[in-house]
Structure 1
Amino acid sequence: MSLPPRSPAAPPLPRPLSVAKSDPERKFGVGAGNGTAVNTGFSGIIALVLTTSFFAGVHLMPEHYFRAMLLERGPTQHATVLLGFWSIVILLLKRGKLSIQRKALDHAVIPENHEFVLTSQTADHVIRNIHALADDPNRFLVYNRILIALSNLKNLGRVSDIDDILRASAERDESSHQTSFATLGGFLWAIPVLGFIGTVLGLAGAIGNFSSLLDKQSDVAGIVGSLKEVTGGLSTAFETTLLALVVALVIQLWITSQRKAEEMFLDDCQDYCLKQIVSRIKILPYEQTREA
């Protein structure tokens, strides 16, 4: 008697959270840091492409003040635009990564049953819930904090240290958050400096042209007719600074907004851990005896 054919096993349910499928850096196979950290080299390549495309478009524009300001005021304009695009790409990537991280806060890892308490015996249940929610939970800051804390609870059975472990993880994430803005801080310093360099070059060229005009022209009419060469240097001096200050202002305001959003997210992570983990911990009698 032949046995009936076995039905194929049901495919595993897709996990709702995935950094690999959502993070643009990982889609291109680029190694990225945890949290909202951005790969500087990857963002630099994108910025270089954007800068090249931008100036190619400016070259096709008809004669205009904007075209002259970008193409006829020296190499500092190109460097300023490149750093501006680079900063924008980093900020856009950080915004996308923050959106991915925030999705983890929308899912509860503790059962909704109010009778459930977190102990060294039930820690495995919470860990399984986290792995069911995300394909790589260690990539999510809030889940990584919880997994580290529950590993201590599961392996050592010491629930009294859970809050301390979560606080230590929060401090580490705060430090990583500050470090992720280091490159942007360097760019924000360099952009106005490029403008000042353009100012010095423009003034130097204007003064040099004016001196040569005085040597070559003996009459006032000739000097007035040749002042266009001098005003070109003055345009370089002021317009390089103008572009750099405008770009720096936009980037500074954007950085302030992004930094505030990430700090609010870190605060929300602490609240999440407090409500989901710390408030549901229960020390069993034998654990009290062990810790005593």
Structure 2
Amino acid sequence: MSNPSPSASPPLPRPLSVAKSDIERVFGVSAAGGTAVNSGFAGVIALILTTLFFVIVHFLPPGYFRAMLLDRGPTQYATVFLGFWSIVILIIKQNKLSVQRKALRHAVIPENHEFVLTSQTADQVIRNIHALADDPTRYLVYNRILISLSNLKNLGRVSDVDDILRASAERDESAHQTSFATVGGFLWAIPVLGFIGTVLGLAGAIGNFSSLLDKQSDVSAIVGSLKEVTGGLSTAFETTLLSLVVALVIQLWMTSQRKAEEVFLDDCQEYCLKQIVSRIKILPFEPGREV
């Protein structure tokens, strides 16, 4: 019995797979590029977590924590929901960043130090990239390289590769800033919800106090009825407390995540410099080059 031909052997598994490591792709959701997050998908998860959270709180024994969340008006529910939504976005961004960083561990240029990147050898690098990842365009650093090498292969101008890499880096930097827009909006909305709760609580407390003064003439009766007033004051202060704590946690987390992504973008530029730009050789007969 003859052995199967090498061409019939199954292809080797690629070491990098977005479909198997990106949370959004794993759940079959349309995944955003780079470290951007599908906000709708994150919102659905946040809604589920918020519901479970308040169900658990509902079954807690009576106490300060339970009263602060369940008895202080609707703004508490909205604050917790936006807080969970922001946290889910940041968690997914962390996952996407770890997926993107894996691409930096693999070299796309042959280890041979004599290898020179020209319009004739660009195809070899492109094949190496496609052998590493199932969808290399989903990796920021590989997408930059593929765009620049496609220009090199089609036009034969290696002098433009560095400019294209720089333009791609600027585009990725802009996308990085935009990817935090949703969380930034929530960071603005959460303290505003706290202030709304404060206004509602103070308005209720003042209204109850005025009503007591109108209905009661005995000082002792007024003092005994002040519990209705203090309930409004509790709403006023505790809604602000919750919103400020949630906003503080999200702000610190977002700052850390933003810094990690900026470091990653710097590492991408260094990767392209070492792997591509430093291996380019401009030939004297290159089309469009002045000699």
Greater mean deviation of Cα atoms: 129-138 or 4-13:
4-13
Q: What residue in structure 2 maps to residue 291 of structure 1?
A: 289
Q: What residue in structure 1 maps to residue 128 of structure 2?
A: 129
When the two chains are superposed, the root-mean-square deviation of aligned CA atoms in Å is 0.9
Amino acid of the structure 2 residue aligned with 1:81 = V
Tell me how far apart the structure 2 counterparts of residues 221 and 210 of structure 1 sit (CA, whole Å): 14
CA deviation map 1:36-67 (0-9, x unaligned): 01001000000000000000000000011000
Superposed, 1:225-236 pairs within 5 Å as 225-236=224-235
Tell me how far apart the structure 1 counterparts of residues 272 and 19 of structure 2 sit (CA, whole Å): 24
Superposed, 1:83-98 pairs within 5 Å as 83-98=82-97
Superposed, 1:82-161 pairs within 5 Å as 82-161=81-160
Question: Is it true that 1:202 corresponds to 2:210 in the alignment?
Answer: no
Q: What residue in structure 1 maps to residue 15 of structure 2?
A: 16
Amino acid of the structure 2 residue aligned with 1:23 = D
Q: How far has the Cα of 1:18 moved from its partner? A: 0.7
Q: 1:7 aligns with which of 4, 22, 33?
A: 4
Amino acid of the structure 2 residue aligned with 1:260 = K
Provide the aligned length of Structure 1 versus Structure 2: 288
Q: Secondary structure at the match of 1:112?
A: coil
Q: What residue in structure 2 maps to residue 68 of structure 1?
A: 67
Structure 1 unaligned residues grouped into runs of 5+: none
Q: Secondary structure at the match of 1:256?
A: helix
Tell me how far apart the structure 1 counterparts of residues 155 and 25 of structure 2 sit (CA, whole Å): 35
Tell me how far apart the structure 2 counterparts of residues 290 and 20 of structure 1 sit (CA, whole Å): 41
Tell me how far apart the structure 2 counterparts of residues 290 and 214 of structure 1 sit (CA, whole Å): 90
Q: Secondary structure at the match of 1:87?
A: helix
Greater mean deviation of Cα atoms: 278-287 or 72-81:
278-287
Q: Percent same amino acid at aligned positions?
A: 83
Q: How far has the Cα of 1:285 moved from its partner? A: 2.8
Q: Secondary structure at the match of 1:285?
A: coil
Tell me how far apart the structure 2 counterparts of residues 182 and 70 of structure 1 sit (CA, whole Å): 28
Superposed, 1:270-289 pairs within 5 Å as 270-287=269-286
Q: How far has the Cα of 1:284 moved from its partner? A: 2.1
Amino acid of the structure 2 residue aligned with 1:58 = V
Amino acid of the structure 2 residue aligned with 1:39 = N
Q: How far has the Cα of 1:5 moved from its partner? A: 4.9
Q: What residue in structure 2 maps to residue 239 of structure 1?
A: 238
Q: How far has the Cα of 1:32 moved from its partner? A: 1.5
TM-score, normalised via structure 2 length: 0.97
Amino acid of the structure 1 residue aligned with 2:289 = E
